[in-house]
Each structure stands twice: as structure tokens, then as C-alpha cells.
Amino acid sequence: MRDLSAETFRQHLLEKYALPRRVHARTEPAANSTLTRPLRELWEASDLSAAEFADEVSDYFGVVRLGLPQLLSATPCLDGFSRRFLRESTVFPFRAPNGGYRIAVADPSDTAAIRAAEIVFGDMVEVAVASYEDITTVLDQRIDADGAGAEDALRAASQQSDDDIESLRDLASGAPVVRALNDLLERAVELRASDIHIEPFRTGLVVRLRVDGLLRAIPSPLGVPPQALISRVKILAGLNIAERRLPQDGAARVRVSRAELDVRVATMPTQAGESAVIRLLPRDRGLLEMSKLGLAARDERIMSRLLTLPHGMIVVTGPTGSGKTTTLATMLSILNEPTRKILTIEDPVEYEIPGINQSQVKPSIGLTFASAMRSFVRQDPDVIMVGEIRDAETAHIAIHAALTGHLVLTTLHTETAAAAVPRLIDLGVESFLLRSTLRAVVAQRLVRVLCDRCKVSHTLSATDVANDPRFGMIGFAAGEVVHEAGGCERCGGTGYRGRNGVFEILEMSEGVRKLVGPQTDSHSIDQAAMAGGMTTMLADAVEKCRAGVTTVPEVFRVTTVR
């Protein structure tokens, strides 16, 4: 069997060609060399062209020969490879026509490079030979086309990062950028916005405010680079302005005009740069009173009765932004008496209530909802509030806390109140425990409230009811009066100002409790609860619509006919 080592190939060339004398002496690698390339040294010492040398290598080692056009037309597979390794080993990995992997090498005797490719791909690779010049050319083109790899990116970043970051920090701390962000915060407070969205696109910076649950675009700051504005936001929240590849979260406390705000900042890398969302949490939100939630008289009596229970679990459900936190904070403020010890674990703490021990989750150090709950039961509390039940462990601890004499308040993400029961069973809570501990489920949404100054009353005609089937679906008939949004300076031309809740409260009556089991479905629980007198969110929203609080489009925007 022919010896296919680099040394025997050198001897083969010596016998075939009258090579210069310098080729006869084998060059030993330096003692500190980490990579030996005997064939490359042999080619550089010879008078053969790169193509002629590659032809000799292909013939001697019996490996298929590829030219530059074939390499350029191949699909590169560069992920997982260091660009430095590819260049120094002169290796080009690509996809084979049969779906497998191939590598073009200039030195087939370099088994270490071939083995490295097999480790990266997790499979055997087909080896082909190409000239040193052709592989270098295709690597230059493909690496430039794909963008510098992680290693090259780090190298480029290291060359300019210090200067760039310092200049960006100086720019973000300059008066125009600081003034632009302050003006943005003042505008958000003026419009009663809950969030500021700063989003870079290829066409420019887009700024939107979430007012009464809907986003509203406002003019972007003029003459302020998007990256500088985002960096200012990150500096404000104590984030790392040099890190632009990963999402970051932070918080700060700022004074805007006469108001003091807690702000939560979340950044996200996007195709056109970093976007940022600033959540505004006014510290002075006024009194948390049940009358301000928007509960109907019957539901308010039920809620007041539930809060007198000594133990058990009350769940508030709804999607993100449906007012669950405000409802929980109001319930806690009612329960907040010197005779009760109340502990909360939240993410984040949006309402600071004096007299209540409030904690915020910190997953980075292991403080999660579940770990906090385990500690809470050793603190001798009367009432425990868990910001959200996200997993089976938290659900089990919450149920057992309610079982051992604590009143537990928490939230879930479900569409209806009835859907919370099968959701908890799906999280692994045994049905007999649920029957013993669950006292009620409160589902809610937020509807926009009509502006008092510009709302317009309208008497429905038969034509109105015929043209818009939504009126008939929720029980409106010709001759009834509905109110519509107008638009004035006070409400910013939207016709709405503020929001109010629509609720349904599912009490665990005997009829509902009997339905709780491993095969429980939300529909049967829903039907039993409505038969027992539960007012659905849709019915509550319709009543608010009849009372002139909101409009028919708002009813359909937040509720579902069932």
C-alpha cells in the first residue's frame, strides 16, 4: 500500500521534477509552532504554480480535483468554524450535491483538519483537493459575503470598541440627546401613556406611545441619532451600552415635570439596530379603591365577601395588559390592616403599598416565584400574593399554602374565568385539592372609556341594526341609544380618555365544584356558573355600553361572544 504521508509526496516530487536544491532539505517546524504545514512549505519552495501543485497532489493522493468555478458555485457551510482555522488550514467546507458535507483542502495529509470538520458536522466528510490560491480566494469571498464570523467580529470590535463606546457615551450624555429623551418622557406623561416604544427601522426612527391600551405614533426627535437615543435610555436604566447583541432589562427612578416615575426598560436587538420599550409606572397613583375598578354592584358585593375569607385561593385571569395587577393591588390595599401580615412576590413591583412586604423576582440569583413561596410560608403570613403562576412548582406551593390556612391571591393567563380550572389541573394540581382551596376566579379586560366632553349619543335605527350585525349579536334593537366616540383636544382626538374594567367572577359553588375533576372542561364549568347567576365579561361590557361608558366597537375589541 502506497505511503500517503507528506514526506513520501515530497520524495515523489523530487523524483519527478528537477526541483531546486532547497527542496531537498526537509524543514523542521519551530519548537513553538502550533501548526505544521509541510505541503505548503513544499509548494512555496518549488517552482510549480498553485494549479500544477494541486494537480500533483490530486494524482498522488487519489483525491478528486476541484477548480475555482466549482468552489464558487458550491454552498458554503462555514458555521461552527473559526475563520482563522479555515484560513490557516486552507480548508473550505461546503454542501455536497447528495446533501452530505465536503471539504476542499490543499493538503489531504492534514488529517487533523479533516477530523476537525467531521467533529463540527457530526458526520463523515468527503475530501476534495483544490489549490492554495483557489481556496484562499473562495474563503475571502464567502467570509466577506457572510459577514465576519464571531472571531473576526470580536477582533474588529476590539480594535474600535473603546473609541466607539466612549464617543457613543459622550454623544448620549450630550445636551441634545438628554433633552430629547426628557421631552419624550414629558410627552408620555402628558398623554397618560403606559409605555414608550422606540424602534429603529431602515427608513428611520419610529416612536410610539401606548395610550389607553393602543399604540399611537408621535413625531421622532429631530437631529438625534437613533443609536444615541437608545444609548441614553440604557444609561438611564444602568444597562451596558457596549452590549448590543443581547436583550437587556433594567429599571430607574426619574422625575418628569412634577411627577416621580419608576421606569422599566427592556431592549431588544433587531435587524436595524436596538429597540427599547420603556414602561412608565407613576409612583403616586392615588387611592386604590374598589369603586374605581369598574365592578358592577353585584360583582363588587361578591368581591368584598371574598376578601373576608380567612384562607383559600383567589385567581385573577386575563391577558397581559388587562389590569390584573391593579385589581390585585386594590384587593391588597383593602386587606392591608395592622392585624394582617401580607407578603408579595412580583415581577416587577408596580404598586408600592406601605405596610406590605413586597419582593421582586430575580431569576439570575435564584429568587423565583416558587423559591419565594417556599420561604413565605415560614414567615407566618396571613395573606400571600404571587404575581403569576407560571409553572407546576409554583402552582403546587400556592395550593398547599392556601390549604394550610393562608389567603393566596395570584394571576393566570386564560381567556375566561372558567378556563382557569382546567389550566391549574393541566399544571399538575390534583382536582380534590382544587375543590378544597379554590374560592373564586376573576376574569377581566379593559375597555376604553368615552371622553365626557365629546361623546356623541346616537339612536339606533332599523337600518343601523341591519347594516351592523354586531348590534343584534349583543342584544341591541332599533330605538335604543348608544354612544360613539367624537374627538376633542382633551382626549387627543381619539374620543376616549381612560380605561375601565369589565369583569366576570366565577365563585366555586357546589354546582361548579362537582364538575372539577381530571376531565374537567371549561365549557361545562362556564355553563354551570352562568346558570348560577355569573355575569360574563360580555354582559358586563354591554351594560357599560348601555350606560354610555364605552362603545360597541370597544365591546367587541376586548370580549368574545359565547
Residue predicted with more confidence, 547 or 148: 547
Say if 479 falls within a structural domain.
Answer: no
- The predicted-structure confidence for 409-422, as pLDDT tens digits, reads as follows 999 999 999 999 99
Task: Examine residue 483 and state whether it is found in any structural domain, yes or no.
Answer: no
Please indicate, yes or no, whether residues 395 and 515 belong to a single structural domain of this protein: yes
Which carries the bigger pLDDT value, residue 124 or residue 284? 124
Residues 299 and 264 in one domain: no
pLDDT value of position 507? 95
Q: Please state, for a pLDDT cut of 90, what percent of the chain lies above it.
A: 47
CA atoms within 13 A on the CB side of 35: 15
Residue 186 and residue 133 in one domain: no
Residue 127 reports pLDDT greater than 80: yes
Interatomic CA distance for residues 119 and 135, integer angstroms: 21
Would you say residue 376 lies in a domain?
yes
In whole angstroms, give the CA distance from residue 461 to residue 477. 8
- Is the confidence at residue 149, as pLDDT, over 60? no
Looking at the structure, do residues 40 and 134 belong to the same domain, yes or no? yes
- In whole numbers, what is the pLDDT of the chain averaged over residues? 85
Amino acid identity at 374: R
CA atoms within 13 A on the CB side of 84: 7
Distance CA 13, CA 56 (A): 8
Residue 55, domain CATH: 3.30.300.160
How many domains are there within the chain? 3
The predicted model gives 509-535 an average pLDDT of 91
Q: Are residues 407 and 304 in the same domain?
A: yes
Given a cut of 70, is residue 535 above it in pLDDT? Answer: yes
Helix (H, G, I), strand (E, B) or coil at 212: coil
Residue 425: per-residue pLDDT: 94
pLDDT above 90 for 504: yes
> Last residue of some domain: 282, 308, 327?
282
Of 98, 128, 144, which one is at a domain's C-terminal end? 144
Say what the pLDDT of residue 152 is: 47
Q: Say if 397 falls within a structural domain.
A: yes
Evaluate the CA torsion angle 373, 376, 380, 384 in order and state its sign.
negative
pLDDT attached to residue 520: 85
Across the range 260-282, mean pLDDT stands at: 90
CATH of residue 521? 3.40.50.300
Least confident piece of the model among 163-177, 239-253, 330-344: 163-177
* Average pLDDT for 221-244: 88
Region of residue 80 (left: phi > 0; alpha: psi -120 to 50; beta: else) = left
- For residues 223-245, give the mean pLDDT: 88
Kindly state whether residue 95 falls inside one of the protein's structural domains.
yes
Exposure on the CB side of residue 310, measured as CA atoms within 13 A: 3
Average pLDDT over residues 91-115: 88
Domain limits for position 193: 174-282
* Bigger pLDDT: 391 vs 282: 391
Domain with 239 in it: what CATH number? 3.30.450.90
